[in-house]
Structure 1
Amino acid sequence: MKKILLVTIISLLAAPLSMLHAQDDIQKVQEAWGKDKKELVRIGMDLSSADSAKFWPLYDKYETERRKISREWILALGDYADNYTSMTNAKADELINKLFKVDAGISKLLQQYYGKVKSALNAMQAAKFVHIESYINTTIRSKMQESLPLIGEKMKTL
């Protein structure tokens, strides 16, 4: 399953960050990715019909909230990509604090929905949900960050 997840994630991340500045573009990417992501979660969760009826309404609410938070992360990375060659201390501080805020928001949201899924199903299924979400989010972030130059790289070219 990890190979399927990785191939799907990488193919969805082919668009450069510079294309993701407009809210409409971000929404289109999130909607397209959301459909594929939901299928990956469905495969990973492997729920019975009874459990599916309880899980998917929770997942849909989680995903709506996660997208709002993730939009800020995408915008911050796009802002970084636009500014890395002229990065100032103030801009670096602003961007990193945005990313900290987003990370805290995602972590808090995942913790809230762990509790909701645990109440609706059980701790094992809730843990599986968190594991799948964490794997997908980590893979996405890793691939996106690989496409960004390090701040210090601008110094090497001077």
Structure 2
Amino acid sequence: MKNILFILMMVLGLNASAQSSTDEIKLIQDLYGKSKSDVVKEYLGLSETQYAAFQPIYDSYESQRKSLSQQKIKILEDYAQNYSTLSDAKATELTNANLKYNQDSEKLLAKTHSKLAKAIGGINAAKFVQLELYLQVTIRSEIQNAIPFIGELDQAKKH
């Protein structure tokens, strides 16, 4: 149990709301040498007019996405706290919460894509979604690699 709590504290930090954004920013900066907004801005290559239309939509998206990320952090913390005594009911609760988080994240990205398509065009909106999904998968992969599967630590103790 201490192993999983330590791993989650390293990945997510003790102060989830501030640390999550900091860890995400650090991960992106480590991967690309830039902040996320700089990566997005550079990749999209928008004109000044397009960027002016893009920025408030992006800022709103990031604010909502970060709020959703807090839900994911709570799910991971709950998993860590219940890992060693995980029951069928708790496993179902955590799975349902995680699936809802994934659905809500997809809905937010779809809503943002729709707004961006109107504001900066379909190709630029698609480029944003493509980049955002890439960054999300990269970050989720880092987190997932640090979290043991159900029963994994128990199996390691037996060997």
Same fold by TM (over 0.5)? yes
User: Following TM superposition, by how much is the alpha carbon of 1:37 offset from its aligned partner in structure 2, in angstroms?
Assistant: 1.8
The match for 2:78 is 79
Q: Provide the C-alpha distance between the structure 2 equivalents of 1:78 and 1:116, rounded to a whole number of angstroms.
A: 33
After TM superposition, the runs of 4+ consecutive aligned structure 1 residues lying more than 4 A away are none
User: Following TM superposition, by how much is the alpha carbon of 1:27 offset from its aligned partner in structure 2, in angstroms?
Assistant: 2.0
The reply on whether 1:38 has 2:29 as its aligned counterpart is: no
- TM-score scaled by length of structure 2: 0.80
Deviation sequence 1:18-65 (CA, Å, 0-9, x none):
25475xx22212443459222221222221111100001100001111
Unmatched segments (≥5 aa) in structure 1: 1-14
Unmatched segments (≥5 aa) in structure 2: 1-5, 26-33
Further displaced range: 80-89 or 70-79: 80-89
Contact 2:113 2:125 in 1 (8 A): yes
User: Following TM superposition, by how much is the alpha carbon of 1:85 offset from its aligned partner in structure 2, in angstroms?
Assistant: 2.1
The match for 1:106 is 105
Q: Secondary structure at the match of 1:151?
A: coil
Q: Provide the C-alpha distance between the structure 2 equivalents of 1:141 and 1:100, rounded to a whole number of angstroms.
A: 14
Q: Compare relative contact order (CA 8 Å, sep 6+) and give the higher one, 1 or 2.
A: 1
RMSD: 2.0
Aligned length: 142
The match for 1:29 is 19
The match for 2:31 is none
The reply on whether 1:88 has 2:87 as its aligned counterpart is: yes
